[in-house]
Chains A and B, each alone.
Chain A
Amino acid sequence: MAEQLSRKKIISPEKIFMGMTGLFSLSVLLISVVVVYELFSASEPAFHKFGLKFLITKEWDPVQKVYGALPFIWGTFYTSLLALLIALPVSLGIAIFLSELAPAWLRSSAGFLIELLAAIPSLIFGLWGLFVLSPILQQYIEPPLSNLSWLPFFTGYPLGLGFLNAGLLLAVMIIPTISSISRDVMYTVPANQREGGLALGMTRWEVVSKVVIPNSRSGILGAVVLGLGRALGETMAVTMVIGNTPQFSLSLLDPGYTISSVIANQFTEAFDKLQISALVELGLILFVISVIINAFAKLLMLRMNRFSGGARI
């Protein structure tokens, strides 16, 4: 009897614990479902009016009530791509230096500083981009670039604000994410593998490029996806510096617009119901883009792991 009672006592808290944690996990799922449902139902009027043409038209005119998403989708992709192009080599350099080359005393302090960069609010980055970076770009960086205007990437007048400024700013913002995760992944490469490489007569560079990076490939990819996620959704900083002009342009000197910027700009003062609906539909598009990118990265990581059996995070 006494034994039974005590056993009951042992089991029931376990069950409660399991039930509660399960409930918490379920709540995340539930929230996502509600978010998707809300996005769908609120964007219904715009979808009904414009259909799939919404994705490929360039007009955004709240007065005439005509809305198209193309410039915003383009701006979101283009700024994120630019940010990644700038941030990836820099971040890998940082990660390799910190995990393979730096003396121990520098490792922790430099690592700390980089992580601190990730803690700066994005509005501060935005104001810095507007007040400090933009005059420098307009006066010193963009005029020489505009001499290369035979390339489609450098046409237009140097404004200081636009894709270049936004891309640079986003790069600075995602470097801490990519570099600190990549560094952590490189740390997990077993020391005996490095030693094995060195024992075979490899140089430092060969150890990095043939042992460390192949071993941490999937982790680095994960870091890149996290960084890309931040770049795609970043709102305030980009809104301050991108110039908020809905146009489809390849030029780095031209102003543009992103999905999250137009939502931040227009949602609070939107009078027209259709405009609000179109803004929500843009939010849905951003959500779908994030899901696709994350799923794609997951797939890629699975494949990599299967083939190389490399380090996992």
Chain B
Amino acid sequence: MKKILMIAVSAVLLAASVCTASAMTLNAAGATFPYPLYSKWFYSYARQTGTKINYAAIGSGAGIQQIEARTVDFGCSDAPLSGAEQSKNNLFMFPTVGGAVAMTYNLPGVRTGLKLLPSTIADIYLGKIRKWNDPEITRLNPGINFPNMPVIVVHRSDGSGTTNIFTWFLSDVSPEWRQRVGSGTSVNWPVGLGGKGNQGVAGTIQKTRGTFGYVELAYVLQSGMTYAAIRNSSGNWVYPTLANAREAASHAKIPANFYIKFTNAPGKNSYPIAGFTFMLVPKNLAPAKAAAVKSYVRWAYTNGDRDALSLDYVPLPAKLKARILNELNRQVR
């Protein structure tokens, strides 16, 4: 009886050790915005290679804290970490995928295609344009009969990468915004209502007449909301589409620390409100794990674009991917 038990126990132990040897597990935590895409990538990657990646979508701020404390193997953040913060915590940061932000509204009788200047959006969010029939809005949209109705501004109440991208854009196009409010994942809004999450903002806009707000593009497209055309820095009216956001991304300036920001980007059809989400890898990660992270990133860059596009994410330009892989190999050993 004892012998049988011993054999059974050792068999189980053997099996367990064989399993851990063949299948690597990586732990990661952070941003919620890329989570739908990441979970698809992680699933496909595990099926193809056996490497499992556990991801806790607990928010960018919490993800940064976890990677700084080294309780996970890599962290993810929607807003980039400054170069100083990166080197202070010995982290290598790079973008994985991008997204665009649409301006959406609920105005009886007005469909998709309201035309807005960047400065108009900033003035609405500064509380300087308070009515829908303000001349700033009506003169750009001659065919539309605007009601004498207050513009109810809606913004995200939770800290969010979407807010970071949107306030980058406002700071780019309005000196007053840059001075009075600034940019970040949560800011001190001069006017407006806060909705929690994309669904909170979208719900508020869909259910309240006279509202105006910003929502992540994927959410707008999937829930069939109205969205505005914005005049970009080349003077063209552009819609928030994946193609236009990709064009903007291709014009992004790439600094050595990959703190990339491409709001209000140049380019004929570039959509001005878009940005990347980022991944943070410790430069001194254990060799086996570092190798696993590298091969995952290589795999995602090579095979992940189709999934990204089908979920309305913006893939990185090929040139940028090559440069990141190169640096990843060099900096994370």
> Which residues of A are in contact with B by a Cβ distance under 8 Å?
59-64, 127, 130-131, 134-135, 138-139, 157, 159-161, 239-240, 243-245, 255, 257, 261, 264-271, 276
Choose one: B62, B150, B152; the contact of A268 (CB below 8 Å): B62
Give every chain A residue within 8 A of B64 (Cβ-Cβ).
271
B198 contacts A by Cβ under 8 Å: no
Interface members, chain B 170-217 (any A CB < 8 Å): 181-189, 192-196, 200, 203-204, 207-209
Interface-lining segment among B39-47, B153-161, B305-313: B153-161
Beyond A62-B187, A244-B195, A264-B158, 10 additional pairs, beta carbon < 8 A: A63-B184, A138-B209, A157-B150, A159-B152, A160-B207, A161-B208, A243-B193, A245-B194, A267-B59, A269-B161
Contact with A along B41-70 (1 / 0, CB 8 A): 000000000000000001111101000000
B185 contacts A271, C-beta separation under 8 Å = yes
Choose one: A64, A243, A244; the contact of B188 (CB below 8 Å): A64
A63 contacts B159, C-beta separation under 8 Å = no
| Nearest A-chain residue to B193, judged by Cβ | A243
Please measure, in the bound complex, the distance between the C-alpha atom of A61 and the C-alpha atom of B193, giving whole angstroms.
Answer: 16
B79 contacts A by Cβ under 8 Å: yes
B200 contacts A135, C-beta separation under 8 Å = no
B79 contacts A271, C-beta separation under 8 Å = yes
* B227, chain A: closest CB distance, angstroms: 21
Please measure, in the bound complex, the distance between the C-alpha atom of A127 and the C-alpha atom of B202, giving whole angstroms.
Answer: 12
Give every chain B residue within 8 A of A62 (Cβ-Cβ).
159, 184-188
Give every chain A residue within 8 A of B186 (Cβ-Cβ).
62, 265-266, 269-270
| Nearest B-chain residue to A246, judged by Cβ | B188
State the 10 A-B residue pairs at the shortest beta-carbon distance, nearest first. Answer: A269-B159, A268-B59, A244-B194, A244-B157, A61-B188, A63-B182, A265-B158, A243-B193, A270-B61, A269-B61
Give every chain B residue within 8 A of A60 (Cβ-Cβ).
188
* A245, chain B: closest CB distance, angstroms: 6
| Nearest A-chain residue to B57, judged by Cβ | A268
- Most chain A Cβ neighbours within 10 Å, of B61, B79, B186, B189: B186
Please measure, in the bound complex, the distance between the C-alpha atom of A267 and the C-alpha atom of B61, giving whole angstroms.
Answer: 8
A240 with B200, Cβ < 8 A, contacts A130-B207, A268-B61 known: yes
B208 contacts A160, C-beta separation under 8 Å = yes
> Which residues of B are in contact with A by a Cβ distance under 8 Å?
32, 58-62, 64, 78-79, 150, 152, 157-161, 181-189, 192-196, 200, 203-204, 207-209
23 pairs, CB–CB < 8 Å, chain A vs chain B:
A62-B159, A62-B184, A62-B185, A62-B188, A63-B181, A63-B187, A64-B182, A127-B203, A131-B203, A134-B204, A138-B208, A157-B150, A240-B195, A240-B200, A243-B194, A267-B61, A267-B62, A268-B32, A269-B158, A269-B160, A269-B186, A270-B61, A271-B61
Please measure, in the bound complex, the distance between the C-alpha atom of A189 and the C-alpha atom of B111, giving whole angstroms.
Answer: 63
* A172, chain B: closest CB distance, angstroms: 18
B157 contacts A265, C-beta separation under 8 Å = yes
- Most chain B Cβ neighbours within 10 Å, of A139, A257, A268: A268
A239 with B204, Cβ < 8 A, contacts A63-B188, A266-B186, A271-B185 known: no
Q: Is the interface of B mostly helix, strand, loop or mixed?
A: loop
Give every chain B residue within 8 A of A257 (Cβ-Cβ).
194
B193 contacts A245, C-beta separation under 8 Å = yes
Please measure, in the bound complex, the distance between the C-alpha atom of A130 and the C-alpha atom of B192, giving whole angstroms.
Answer: 16
Give every chain A residue within 8 A of B185 (Cβ-Cβ).
62, 269-271
A245 with B192, Cβ < 8 A, contacts A62-B186, A134-B208, A271-B185 known: yes
Give every chain B residue within 8 A of A160 (Cβ-Cβ).
207-208
* B133, chain A: closest CB distance, angstroms: 15
Please measure, in the bound complex, the distance between the C-alpha atom of A270 and the C-alpha atom of B192, giving whole angstroms.
Answer: 21
Choose one: A61, A134, A161, A265; the contact of B187 (CB below 8 Å): A61
Give every chain B residue within 8 A of A131 (Cβ-Cβ).
203, 207
Please measure, in the bound complex, the distance between the C-alpha atom of A62 and the C-alpha atom of B62, giving whole angstroms.
Answer: 16
Please measure, in the bound complex, the distance between the C-alpha atom of A139 and the C-alpha atom of B210, giving whole angstroms.
Answer: 12
| Nearest A-chain residue to B167, judged by Cβ | A63
B159 contacts A270, C-beta separation under 8 Å = yes
Please measure, in the bound complex, the distance between the C-alpha atom of A271 and the C-alpha atom of B157, giving whole angstroms.
Answer: 15
Give every chain B residue within 8 A of A245 (Cβ-Cβ).
189, 192-194
* A113, chain B: closest CB distance, angstroms: 28
| Nearest A-chain residue to B64, judged by Cβ | A271
* B253, chain A: closest CB distance, angstroms: 23
B196 contacts A240, C-beta separation under 8 Å = yes
Give every chain B residue within 8 A of A139 (Cβ-Cβ).
209
Give every chain A residue within 8 A of B181 (Cβ-Cβ).
63
Please measure, in the bound complex, the distance between the C-alpha atom of A59 and the C-alpha atom of B158, giving whole angstroms.
Answer: 17
| Nearest B-chain residue to A139, judged by Cβ | B209
Please measure, in the bound complex, the distance between the C-alpha atom of A28 and the C-alpha atom of B203, giving whole angstroms.
Answer: 40
Please measure, in the bound complex, the distance between the C-alpha atom of A134 and the C-alpha atom of B194, giving whole angstroms.
Answer: 14
Please measure, in the bound complex, the distance between the C-alpha atom of A264 and the C-alpha atom of B197, giving whole angstroms.
Answer: 11
- Most chain B Cβ neighbours within 10 Å, of A267, A269, A271: A269
| Nearest B-chain residue to A134, judged by Cβ | B207
A135 contacts B207, C-beta separation under 8 Å = yes
A266 contacts B158, C-beta separation under 8 Å = yes
